[in-house]
Chains A and B, each alone.
Chain A
Amino acid sequence: MLLITCPYCCTARPESEFRYSGEAHIARPLEPATVSDDDWAAFLYMRTNPKGLHAERWRHIHGCGRFFNALRNTVTDQILKTYPAGTPRPGLGAPAEGGR
């Protein structure tokens, strides 16, 4: 079970308090009626599915209830950073330390 730090509660909590909500930074177009069919289909269905760092949404559903974003390495399952919804994807600064 992963430990996930909720950026609102500012504490690490077990994964079972959270719910996954898909890829992050996919904003709903402000004027959907003006979006082309292809662009709308891309908004609905196309996701990056990267091997490595993935920005994704989680909700602290059995805690504060807030949605937030996380950077997770899809290879190691490590969550390297969590940050509030609506804020840009952060850099990671120094490379993640291996192990300790």
Chain B
Amino acid sequence: MAGLHRTNGGGRVDRTKRLSFTFDGKAYEGFAGDKLASALLANGVHLVGRSYKYHRPRGILSAGAEEPNALVTVDRGRGRTAPNLRATQVELYDGLVAESQNRWPSLAYDFGAVNSLFSPLLAAGFYYKTFMGPRLLGSNWAWHKIYEPLIRRAAGLGKAPSLPDPDRYANRFAHCDVLVIGAGPAGLAAALAAAEAGARVILCDEQAELGGSLLSEWSVEIDGVPASSWVDEAVRTLAASSRVTLLPRTQAFGYFAQNFVALAERLTDHLGNPDPAAPRERLWQVRAKEVVLATGAIERPIVFPDNDRPGIMLADAARTYVNRYGVRPGLRAVVIAACDSGYAAALDLHRAGTAVAMVIDPRANGDSGLAGSVRAAGIEVQIGATVTATRGSQRVSAVQIGRAGTEGRASTGEWVPCDHVVMAGGWTPSVHLFSQSRGKLAWSDDAQAFLPSAIAPGQAQRSAGACRGVFGVAAALDDGFAAGRAAVGREPLGRTFKVTHDITDFRGIAGSHGAGARGSKAFVDFQHDVTVRDLKLAAQEGFRAIEHVKRYTTTGMATDQGKTSNINALAIVADHLGKPIPEVGLTTFRQPYTPVTFGTIAGASRGDLFDPVRRTPCDAWAQAQGAMFEDVGAWKRAHYFPQAGEDMHTAVARECRTVRSAVGMFDASTLGKIEVVGPDAAEFLERLYINSFQKLGVGRCRYGVLLNEAGFIIDDGVIGRIAADRFHVTTTTGGAARVLHMMEDYAQTEFPDLKVWLTSTTEQWAVIAVQGPRARDVLAPLVDGVDIGATDFPHMSVKAGRICGVDARIFRVSFTGELGFEINVPADFGADVWEAVWREVQKHGGCAYGTESMHVLRAEKGFIIVGQETDGTVTPDDVGLGWATGKGKRDFVGMRSLSRPDMVRSGRKQLVGLLTADPKRVLEEGSQVVEGLRPPAGTPALGHVTSAYWSEALGRSIALALVADGRTRIGTRLNVPMPDGDVAVDVVTPVFLDPKGERLNG
């Protein structure tokens, strides 16, 4: 497979290991060590994609993470298609299946290319100008129905997989003394220096091989050995240290406060046959004492007319393909060199057997120290020349050379045939992570680049090498070594590395070069198809700030975030506005540096592990009975227990009937429970709840109402006094954590004088409610040492005793209006006691009931549910709980607020019952309550329905509602407007059943 495009030897590919792969269904071969991009180039494939807007043929521009054009979808099987991968980063493996994107039916014959004909329509701001049309058919009708679907189909990138992701993702937290990001010369030297000092070092690099730019060098020698060998030795040294963690294939993509850095490690995507149990990627969250940023620099394209044809490539990429992968991207090249890397590329290509037709240097007085060597190799060098046009439909075939003239115009000259154009526009330091860390950047005239300036407070970091404008192998090594020493608090050793064949001029040029003929396009942002003309148009139309230009033209907003384009765009806008670059500003660098999969971010938090699930001790029984469940907070609660053939409505009706006529049992284990203990426990509760607790006798219970300081109900629950200094407090299921937090707050910060201790016991107790006229009969044979008779154990009392031989707290309480008990037993015995109670319940014709029946039963009694009848704006009086307020209390949380003017005004919404004129009609919860019939739009509602059910006991529908001045409206008729017409309702007191409580006290 030597082929026309493989060099005869050299590079870091293993020519003994052939790998086969397909691209768009066609089979090719490459070598182990290849990237998909290098393997395609080795097979002479340059056309790899179609551009985003104009569907222009595009080739491989770069050799790294900055690639804007060569985006591919890699198919690893069902659910495993990964779109928008950069072919320059995809490691080749045997059997790799890759597809190009954004083309139909094929890359070579792409229908979407007709977009090019309409390109005048697609200029900057075309969305805003074209599609925000008249509102004839409603707001943006045309946009939603016509333009957006069309554009989304025609423009765009790869398709997201539609199947669930079958892969696993891992997550790891790590701490280290020094995190070195980037393993090029600066990073390797920094890691060596820090490791030598005994520090715990993590060195990460996005590539499979550590070494960065050194892997692309051919002739450079470091300390007497070739760069490539020096890298191997450095990596061996680091790997041998137990205190160094090397993370290849690991992209640092986010830099957060206090040296917290997120890394994405690719674990299996490079393998043809990965262990299916192995995680695909791993998210590292690293907290580093010091960070060394050695993120290097990215070469800029040169902006000339039609600079996007396949075969036109960055100089550094050309050097990488030739030197590292042994691939000749072309057979006859023209090099446009605005800095040394272009000249170096000319020499490398020439040595590898590519005919270099010409080197042109657009700088008027540009000359390179390497120009002599290039000329000595017999290559023509033209200074002050530029490219004014290119030819070639699916691959560049010729470039036209012009002389730079006055006012940016260039004279046009000869056409030079070529199949490869190499451009070296200069280098942009990669300050992305530095900027993400909130460091300040400053423009350097000297480097013609933005460089790190002030480090953000709280970040301990330093930049080293090209990312801070220190270019060249020797300087980067020295700078990195000093940074590594400094990161561990050591003085620089003054160590210098001896480097031969180094290049030092990386500044280049920025902006637009050579005005093109009509119809040509000089691309700035390749991935979003933004041209010089677009940027100038934005400036002409009044956009001044670069952030606005960015949004208007979408330059720098593609998945590559403008890695290759931002500085050119900035220079063009600055030039057009006649301002220096720093005055135009710089766009914000955001995470992630390169796209990160959702899988990596989510890690194990998906499916069953997405959210913790809380299950009660009786849960397994309910599941075995075929209960339907509902989510209440993190809890799974049995919603209802359907029998054969029952829907929810019939099941709930049966459950309610059974409770009212015989007995039902209900799993109340999810209730929040807090043990409040201490000599001041009663005083503490007295200060928190609206009720009185000082005088509550031991063995008695009280319905407690908890307000926030603003006077609004936030929780309720039964509170039992177990001993003089011990209370069993229950809260709502959802409010348990919130109430404990609030209690702790007051105990610690407002009432530190009180001796009181708070313990959550929610999960220590299983709670079984037994409710109904036969409840006492059910419990009688099971309890031991407790008199549960009506006289000795009245409603709202609590006793310690035994049930089924287990220590229990038995409450006589009722949330149904029936005779009722709630048995608290240690959670471990919950399931057994439940089964024992269930056997007794069955003997009495009882049933188990779920939360839906519980809701209906309590609504029949007018018992509120916090969060349903209340919404954070409701006071005790609003819902008729004023009676619960302790008499003569001087203070409790929220008390003072209850006398604020807004709380005592008339017109507040009050809890009432609603009975529909049609007893079969069940209202919808949340529907509005109004006075008149068919109110015109804009009529304020009097209130809303908070609860509405079919009541089996009453044989009709019932509802609770909050209605302005509701209590004075009792006996009047109101309306609930619904889409099918007004529903007439009569306002009644909110207690529908047994208002005297005879059943409850039975």
Q: Which of B266-274, B637-645, B888-896, B978-986 contacts A (4 or more CB under 8 A)?
A: B888-896
Check: B750 CB closer than 8 A to any chain A CB. yes
Complex-state Cα separation, A98 to B901, whole angstroms: 49
Known: A37-B900, A65-B744. A78 touches B458 (CB 8 A): yes
Q: Is the CB of B457 within 8 A of A67?
A: no
Hey, which chain B residues are within 8 Å of A92, CB to CB?
Answer: none
Residue interface mask B457-489, A partner, CB < 8 A = 1: 111100000000000000000000000000000
Hey, which chain A residues are within 8 Å of B438, CB to CB?
Answer: 76
Check: A54 CB closer than 8 A to any chain B CB. no
| Of the residues B257, B709, B744, B890, contact of A67 by C-beta under 8 Å | B744
Hey, which chain B residues are within 8 Å of A33, CB to CB?
Answer: 890-891, 895-896
Known: A32-B896, A37-B900. A1 touches B260 (CB 8 A): yes
Complex-state Cα separation, A63 to B287, whole angstroms: 20
Q: Is the CB of A86 within 8 A of B458?
A: no
Q: Is the CB of A2 within 8 A of B750?
A: no
Q: Is the CB of B749 within 8 A of A44?
A: no
Q: Is the CB of A76 within 8 A of B457?
A: yes
Complex-state Cα separation, A59 to B748, whole angstroms: 11
Check: B922 CB closer than 8 A to any chain A CB. no
Q: Is the CB of A99 within 8 A of B456?
A: yes
Q: Is the CB of A44 within 8 A of B890?
A: no
Interface residues on A, range: 20 to 34
Can you name the residue of chain B whose Cβ is closest to the Cβ of A34? B896
Check: B741 CB closer than 8 A to any chain A CB. yes
Q: Is the CB of B749 within 8 A of A41?
A: no
Hey, which chain A residues are within 8 Å of B896, CB to CB?
Answer: 29, 32-33, 35, 40
Q: Is the CB of A40 within 8 A of B900?
A: yes
Within 8 A of B (CB), among A76-100: 76-78, 85-86, 96-100
Complex-state Cα separation, A97 to B455, whole angstroms: 11
Q: Is the CB of A32 within 8 A of B900?
A: no
Check: B394 CB closer than 8 A to any chain A CB. no
Residue interface mask B431-468, A partner, CB < 8 A = 1: 00000001000000000000000111111100000000
Hey, which chain B residues are within 8 Å of A57, CB to CB?
Answer: 749
Q: Is the CB of A100 within 8 A of B897?
A: no
Q: How far is the CB of A76 from the nearest CB of chain B, in Å?
A: 5
Known: A33-B891, A33-B896, A59-B741. A98 touches B457 (CB 8 A): yes
| Of the residues B260, B287, B748, B750, contact of A66 by C-beta under 8 Å | B748
Q: Is the CB of A28 within 8 A of B709?
A: yes
Check: A61 CB closer than 8 A to any chain B CB. yes
Residue interface mask B698-713, A partner, CB < 8 A = 1: 0000000000011000
Interface residues on B, range: 20 to 34
Residue interface mask A32-54, B partner, CB < 8 A = 1: 11010100110010000000000
Q: Is the CB of A3 within 8 A of B454?
A: no
Hey, which chain B residues are within 8 Å of A21, CB to CB?
Answer: 745
Hey, which chain A residues are within 8 Å of B287, CB to CB?
Answer: 3
Known: A33-B890, A37-B900. A2 touches B258 (CB 8 A): yes
Hey, which chain A residues are within 8 Å of B134, CB to CB?
Answer: none
Q: Is the CB of A85 within 8 A of B748?
A: yes
Residue interface mask B67-94, A partner, CB < 8 A = 1: 0000000000000000000000000000
Complex-state Cα separation, A86 to B206, whole angstroms: 49
Known: A1-B256, A76-B457. A44 touches B748 (CB 8 A): no
| Of the residues B260, B454, B709, B745, contact of A99 by C-beta under 8 Å | B454
Q: Is the CB of B455 within 8 A of A44?
A: no
Q: Is the CB of A78 within 8 A of B891?
A: no
Complex-state Cα separation, A75 to B745, whole angstroms: 27
Q: How far is the CB of A24 from the nearest CB of chain B, in Å?
A: 10
Known: A67-B749, A86-B749. A32 touches B891 (CB 8 A): yes
Complex-state Cα separation, A66 to B454, whole angstroms: 36
Q: Is the CB of B258 within 8 A of A99?
A: no
Check: B752 CB closer than 8 A to any chain A CB. yes
Q: Is the CB of B901 within 8 A of A37?
A: yes
Q: Is the CB of A77 within 8 A of B257?
A: yes
| Of the residues A2, A35, A66, contact of B257 by C-beta under 8 Å | A2
Complex-state Cα separation, A64 to B605, whole angstroms: 26
| Of the residues A3, A19, A37, contact of B258 by C-beta under 8 Å | A3
Can you name the residue of chain B whose Cβ is closest to the Cβ of A57? B749
Hey, which chain B residues are within 8 Å of A1, CB to CB?
Answer: 256-258, 260, 285
Within 8 A of A (CB), among B869-890: 890
Can you name the residue of chain A whose Cβ is closest to the Cβ of B460? A100
Known: A28-B750, A40-B897, A44-B897. A19 touches B257 (CB 8 A): no
Hey, which chain A residues are within 8 Å of B458, CB to CB?
Answer: 76, 78, 99
Q: Is the CB of A59 within 8 A of B744?
A: yes
Complex-state Cα separation, A47 to B178, whole angstroms: 41
Give 4 new A-B contacts, CB below 8 A, not counting A1-B285, A37-B900: A37-B901, A67-B745, A86-B752, A99-B454
6 closest cross-chain pairs (CB), A and B: A32-B896, A99-B455, A78-B458, A28-B750, A67-B748, A3-B258
B residues at A contact (CB < 8 Å): 256-258, 260, 285, 287, 438, 454-460, 709-710, 741, 744-745, 748-750, 752, 890-891, 895-897, 900-901
A residues at B contact (CB < 8 Å): 1-3, 19, 21, 27-29, 31-33, 35, 37, 40-41, 44, 57, 59, 61, 65-67, 73, 76-78, 85-86, 96-100
Interchain residue pairs with CB less than 8 A apart (16):
A1-B256, A1-B260, A2-B257, A27-B750, A28-B709, A33-B890, A44-B709, A44-B897, A59-B744, A67-B748, A73-B457, A78-B257, A85-B749, A96-B457, A99-B458, A99-B460
